[in-house]
Structure 1
Amino acid sequence: MTLSSSNSPLTDEQARQLNDVLGNLEGHQIDWLSGYLAGWRAAQTGQPSAGGAAAAAAASAEAPSLTVLYGSQTGNAEGVAEMLGEQASARGIKATVVDMADYKPRQLKSESFVAVLASTHGEGDPPDGALDFHEFIHSRKAPGLKGVHYGVLALGDTSYEHFCQTGKDFDARFAELGASQLVERVDCDVDYDDPAEAWVTAMLDAIEAKAGAAVSAGSGQTAGGAPGKSQYDRKNPFPAPVLENLVLNGRGSNKETRHIELSLEDSGLTYRPGDAVGIYPQNNPSLVAAIIEKLALDPEETVSLGETQTTLSKALTHYREITVLTKPLMEQWAAYSGDAELQKLVGDQAGVTDWMRGRDLLDLIETWPVEGLGADTLTGMLRKLPPRLYSIASSQAAVDEEVHMTVAAVRYESHNREREGVASTWLSDRLEDDATVPVYIDPNKNFKLPEDDDAPVIMIGPGTGVAPFRAFMQEREERGARGRNWLFFGEQHFHMDFLYQSEWLAWRRQGLLDHLTVAFSRDQEEKVYVQNRIRDYATELWSWLQDGAYIYVCGDADAMAPDVNEALIDVIAHEGNKSRDEATEYLRDLAREKRYQRDVY
């Protein structure tokens, strides 16, 4: 129906203007507009307008729907996904936040708006929980996605060759399948907070512009956050006092592994076994001083880090990454120096990745010196010093307002210089007795004890990978869980490197720990590792799996985790009388059922 002065209370000019507006709107936009006008009228008069309730209901029914899919290994992508969901709801957008592992990918073609948030694991691989979705979307079974509007946020680390590869994969594939990109993909480095928040805002703005979504004043969101939630988080870490800092290794060991206990009293921070504690470390003052000296800069010169002003020395000690080189830093250094050799190197992806491995900022300065580099220019080139994550080695049910960590001090020689891990040696060597450590809790929903206290649990954790399993055992003891427990632990020497030995033996005497299987690689001529022990106990391990056991693996991602994965496939194939492909799929099914969980790094 066309409006005019004869069939409405409007003048001819008003009717013409309104007809022009309505003619350019789609159905769901008109529904939203009717609800908006009803609300606007009610605000003007203080009373609902005629038909206001029906119009508002229609507007609500037509509110745009956003599906937020995340693939997360450590929980960072999941955290941003939840933030996006909360902010979408606050704007009146119906948001559903789903782990890719739990999403039925054939639904994708029916979605209107999709946000994809994915981290990259290992050498450009999807996180464990995103494997099936990643495979499906890249297979011939993937549906056409014409009519689907999407955006991708990729999380990664620029010190790795395949930076944000999983996010890049999803972005390219969605476009190939006909989906329309709402916003440009953003690739986040380890310091992801600010770019992620900007992407979330851009994504929601784009949805509103496309669908005409309204900001809902009645969303119930408050500045104070959820009741009982701690004020301390990644952006505002809690200064946790150090309670204990003990060496776990015996005399003569060539390892230095620390058991560190921190107080969380009055922080309001809570955690569950399987979570990690994030800490903000400090760079070694000796390395900071050497860098400043090489560049002939003043350590007390004031530099600006966003809204923060501090000295150059403090900036390099507390706020900037100086021990890990990244491709963007190499490119900036090449442009600034004008060195032809360096410019050629940064153009070779494999070559520059190989050169960066085991080197730091001081190596870069010494190899390609520059003159006249200002302090602000230097700090502007460097990414933020990211927090380090440690698997929590305690159950809060057992230790109350404390959190425990198992930290291996990293020291090694590379390119004719002694090197060290930033956080591990800061915690081991440079903490005063009355020191505090800036911490926050990093939840990990993908590494959790089974809800069923009767379920058997198999824990595979060599070295510091044993940390979360100490938490698991404390938790199961506090719960009075009846399920059987089996630990595979490995290190170099029984007498010097059996971490938490007295606790494991006590749990075994009590009957809480049914099996303790160890592999000490240097105690005999032939090296023995946990994967060897897994094969040794194949028959019993298969029996546990048949009884519904959950398998957990924690530790080194480069060698241990793949080797353990291979050993498990061998066990399943041999004991289950399966082909290798069938055994591999069996293990994948365990992962889908959350019965095979890994926390590897």
Structure 2
Amino acid sequence: MAIELAFGFSFNNVLTRLPYGAGLEDLAMMAILGAASTAYMSRGRLWDKPDPYHYKWFERPQEQMGGKARAQQTRNIMEKLEETGADLVIFWGSQSGTAERMASRLAKEFHQRLGLKSLSIDASDYEPSSIAQIPATKICVFIASTFGEGDPSDNLHSFWEWIHTASDKCLSNLRYMAFGLGNSYYKHYNEVIKVVVERLNALGAQALMATGMADDAKGETEEHFLEWKERVIHTFSTKLGYTERDPVYEPSLKVFDDESLEPIDLHHGVPSNNAASSKGNTGMSAVYSLPVKTTRELFQDSEHRNCIHIEVDLNEHPELRYKTGDHLGVWPINPDIEVGRLLHVLGLTERPRVPITILSLDDDVKVKIPTPTTLEALLGHYLEICAPISRGTIASLLQFAPTRAIKDFLAPLTDKRKFANFTGSRYINLGRLLELTTKEEGVWSALPLSFIVETLPVMQPRYYSISSSSAVTPRTAALTVVISDTVLNGPAERIPGLSTNYLLALKTSLARDDDSKSRGRNLDYSLNGPEDSLVGGRIHAHVRNSNFKLPVSASHPIIMIAAGTGIAPFRAFLQERERMQAMGKEVGTMLLFFGCRNPHQDLIYASELAELQKQFSGIFRLVVAFSRADDERERAYVQHRVAEHAETVCKLLVDDNANLYICGSAAMARDVSNTINQELCGRFQWTEEDCRGFADKQKKFKRWQQDVWG
């Protein structure tokens, strides 16, 4: 190929024009010219390319000027134990953060009560095989949650794979304890920790005590953890030779005022994008401020109960997309009254906007609050200050009691029975508990802010199935939200749902055209949001991808089973299939079972469903179940309707290979699954093993899917 010079002619042409017998000097000159032209033309491609990491020279210059440089993180857990001198490591597998918080609390108590140096470790941060190097002089604790269909958390996948493939007795030196988090409403209750323990034992590990399991079916996860933790401490003090001592609070975080900071330096409450960037969460978008286009009430009688339809506009962010079946994560705001209550008892009502900085005092403890910030942002947006208080937190508060009388008031509540009686008829969060001990402002001013930050959960988004189809309204995402309140034993006492009451307040404000402040159920919210980021009726939200999807072929039959707002994704499914039909595509049979309380009050989207039945001309059938119908003879739950139509359901599942979808509470999903299994076994004379094999096969090929919650 001829090499083109910058002057517009080729080097080959130059060579052909040389006189016969030209000397070596001429040839050398031509070679030099050719090389020079090649170098010139390849500039920026083969050489002198911009350094893609050039910006690194300008990041964290303090690390080059005597600051603390980041050490290379080893992925060998034994090396980490040797570096830190730790006696014990706690591996956690957590999807929502509960197992992680428990692991951190346990590590702290090991140190405070037993003098043990303990590490709380994300299981994905270390090579699983390095666990085999841990000697018998060290101890491991495994805390793991189960979600979905017996699935491990995202951060446990590499460990999960390793324990299923490791062979021999590679863990013969390992001594361990284990605790699982699950919900007995789910079919595979605590399956993950059961499998982990089974595999650890098969690989030669030695369990030091019986495995603990929390059951959240009745909201008792915290109590079960406390009971197991006490058994753990007892095992250490009676069987392993450790001496228990009175715990003394040792902060792992430092929280201090820093009035040198300007407002521009601070995080004012806008949710961070950690959810989108953290490990295992690649299916999440960034968090955006999104306008709410419209809202409407879905219940016919909304005096005592509410269910609202919300449509969120995505047009401001072209990069933000969703697909039918995905979820929208909504970031709630704490009610003003709860923020004010906590500031009052802490004596900080005059300092809500003072800048504060949060630093870690332990290399292994991560600061999960955006910092620097303010107390107003911390309590209003970054911490779950409305979370019900635990018995363990009350025990920790005793050492900070400002008076003997307050200590005497709190001490009995550390007893399980007395605590249950106390909280069974009251809504008690941290601020309410402190206020119960005294109404006087600032009595709890000595309670360290670090204790509050370490004790209260970090604010988490609430996820809702998107109830619209991306094929129909790609730039609008709809939500179907029932306002949830937990009714207690006391007279008219409720624990208000944090996110749902916030959204109800937003709906009310939009109806009144006043978005500065509005009420949910007796709760005020500052709806303008941090730095007025939500002015005009907005929410902070992000999209989370879901596997709850329609079959690729629109002609494939589907069975949908829902209770309450579990109908949300099925509304989207039906919208999408209606669009496919309008485009001339063949649409398969659709059977929807929908359970709610009363036909005159709770049958949401009734007119839409009736219209869809007309449009689909017989290929869509709706079967309803009313658990509180006026006529007692007509009362039924959704699983009862499934049993009544078992012949159709079984034919669709077995003969037509239909996709089955269940959405709603975990208890409903369990009952529906049991009903379907019973009908399949009875009609086809299958054994339980046959039935289980069929269900497992369907789930493997995504033909049996559940989107459920506890």
With normalisation by structure 1, the TM-score equals 0.62
Alignment correspondent of 2:652: 544
Alignment correspondent of 2:589: 484
Distance in 2, matches of 1:265 and 1:138, equals 49
Task: Please tell me whether residue 287 in structure 1 is matched to residue 375 in structure 2.
Answer: no
> Any conservation in 2 of the 1:315–1:379 contact (CA below 8 Å)?
no
Q: Indicate the RMSD between aligned Cα atoms, in angstroms.
A: 4.9
Secondary structure class of the residue paired with 1:552: strand
2:703 to 575, 595, 598: 595
Q: Which moved more, 1:586-595 or 1:434-443?
A: 586-595
Alignment correspondent of 2:430: 361
Alignment correspondent of 1:332: 396
Q: Deviations over 1:154-200 (max 9, x none)?
A: x99998338899xx9xxxxxxxxxxxxxxxxxxxxxx99979999x7
Quick one: structure 1 residues 139 and 291, their matched pair in 2 at CA, closer, same or farther if it must change by over 3 Å? closer
**Residues 507-518 of structure 1 aligned to structure 2 (within 5 Å):** 507-511=612-616, 514-518=620-624
Task: Please tell me whether residue 438 in structure 1 is matched to residue 540 in structure 2.
Answer: yes
Unaligned runs of 5+ residues in structure 1 are 1-42, 44-63, 78-82, 89-95, 147-154, 169-190, 202-224
Alignment correspondent of 2:385: 322
Alignment correspondent of 2:501: 425
Q: Partner amino acid for 2:332? A: P
Distance in 2, matches of 1:325 and 1:425, equals 16
Distance in 2, matches of 1:496 and 1:422, equals 24
Q: Partner amino acid for 1:239? A: S
Alignment correspondent of 2:675: 567
Task: Please tell me whether residue 554 in structure 1 is matched to residue 663 in structure 2.
Answer: yes
Quick one: structure 1 residues 76 and 450, their matched pair in 2 at CA, closer, same or farther if it must change by over 3 Å? farther
Task: Please tell me whether residue 383 in structure 1 is matched to residue 383 in structure 2.
Answer: no
Distance in 2, matches of 1:71 and 1:508, equals 45
Quick one: structure 1 residues 551 and 124, their matched pair in 2 at CA, closer, same or farther if it must change by over 3 Å? closer
Alignment correspondent of 1:218: none
Distance in 2, matches of 1:250 and 1:443, equals 32
Distance in 2, matches of 1:75 and 1:458, equals 33
Distance in 1, matches of 2:430 and 2:98, equals 27
Distance in 2, matches of 1:125 and 1:548, equals 24
1:137 shift after superposition: 5.0
Q: Partner amino acid for 1:453? A: A
1:530 shift after superposition: 0.5
Distance in 2, matches of 1:362 and 1:76, equals 21
Quick one: structure 1 residues 126 and 518, their matched pair in 2 at CA, closer, same or farther if it must change by over 3 Å? closer
Task: Please tell me whether residue 525 in structure 1 is matched to residue 589 in structure 2.
Answer: no
Quick one: structure 1 residues 141 and 318, their matched pair in 2 at CA, closer, same or farther if it must change by over 3 Å? closer
Percent identity between the aligned chains? 26
Quick one: structure 1 residues 273 and 471, their matched pair in 2 at CA, closer, same or farther if it must change by over 3 Å? same
Which structure: larger Rg?
2
Alignment correspondent of 1:19: none
Q: Partner amino acid for 2:330? A: I
Quick one: structure 1 residues 340 and 496, their matched pair in 2 at CA, closer, same or farther if it must change by over 3 Å? same
Unaligned runs of 5+ residues in structure 2 are 1-46, 48-74, 77-91, 100-121, 128-153, 172-178, 206-213, 230-270, 359-369, 511-535
> Any conservation in 2 of the 1:391–1:405 contact (CA below 8 Å)?
yes
Number of equivalent positions: 454
Task: Please tell me whether residue 247 in structure 1 is matched to residue 297 in structure 2.
Answer: yes
Q: Deviations over 1:533-571 (max 9, x none)?
A: 1111111111111121222111122x3222222222222
Q: Deviations over 1:134-162 (max 9, x none)?
A: 6655558985389xxxxxxxx99998338
Secondary structure class of the residue paired with 1:398: coil
1:399 shift after superposition: 0.5
Q: Partner amino acid for 1:556? A: S
Task: Please tell me whether residue 372 in structure 1 is matched to residue 445 in structure 2.
Answer: yes
1:597 shift after superposition: 1.5
Q: Deviations over 1:485-520 (max 9, x none)?
A: 111111122132211122222221122752100012
1:122 shift after superposition: 2.3
Distance in 2, matches of 1:500 and 1:534, equals 21
Quick one: structure 1 residues 156 and 195, their matched pair in 2 at CA, closer, same or farther if it must change by over 3 Å? farther
Distance in 2, matches of 1:394 and 1:194, equals 27
2:327 to 276, 290, 297: 276
> Any conservation in 2 of the 1:406–1:464 contact (CA below 8 Å)?
yes
Task: Please tell me whether residue 304 in structure 1 is matched to residue 356 in structure 2.
Answer: yes
> Any conservation in 2 of the 1:136–1:142 contact (CA below 8 Å)?
no
Secondary structure class of the residue paired with 1:259: strand
Quick one: structure 1 residues 243 and 360, their matched pair in 2 at CA, closer, same or farther if it must change by over 3 Å? same
Distance in 2, matches of 1:597 and 1:525, equals 32
Quick one: structure 1 residues 584 and 330, their matched pair in 2 at CA, closer, same or farther if it must change by over 3 Å? farther
Alignment correspondent of 1:265: 315
Secondary structure class of the residue paired with 1:569: helix
Task: Please tell me whether residue 122 in structure 1 is matched to residue 183 in structure 2.
Answer: yes
Q: Deviations over 1:10-40 (max 9, x none)?
A: xxxxxxxxxxxxxxxxxxxxxxxxxxxxxxx
With normalisation by structure 2, the TM-score equals 0.54
Q: Partner amino acid for 1:288? A: V
Distance in 1, matches of 2:668 and 2:495, equals 23
Task: Please tell me whether residue 467 in structure 1 is matched to residue 557 in structure 2.
Answer: no
Q: Partner amino acid for 1:577? A: Q
Quick one: structure 1 residues 584 and 73, their matched pair in 2 at CA, closer, same or farther if it must change by over 3 Å? farther
Alignment correspondent of 1:144: 203
Quick one: structure 1 residues 144 and 252, their matched pair in 2 at CA, closer, same or farther if it must change by over 3 Å? closer
Task: Please tell me whether residue 238 in structure 1 is matched to residue 288 in structure 2.
Answer: yes
1:321 shift after superposition: 0.8
Q: Partner amino acid for 2:469? A: S
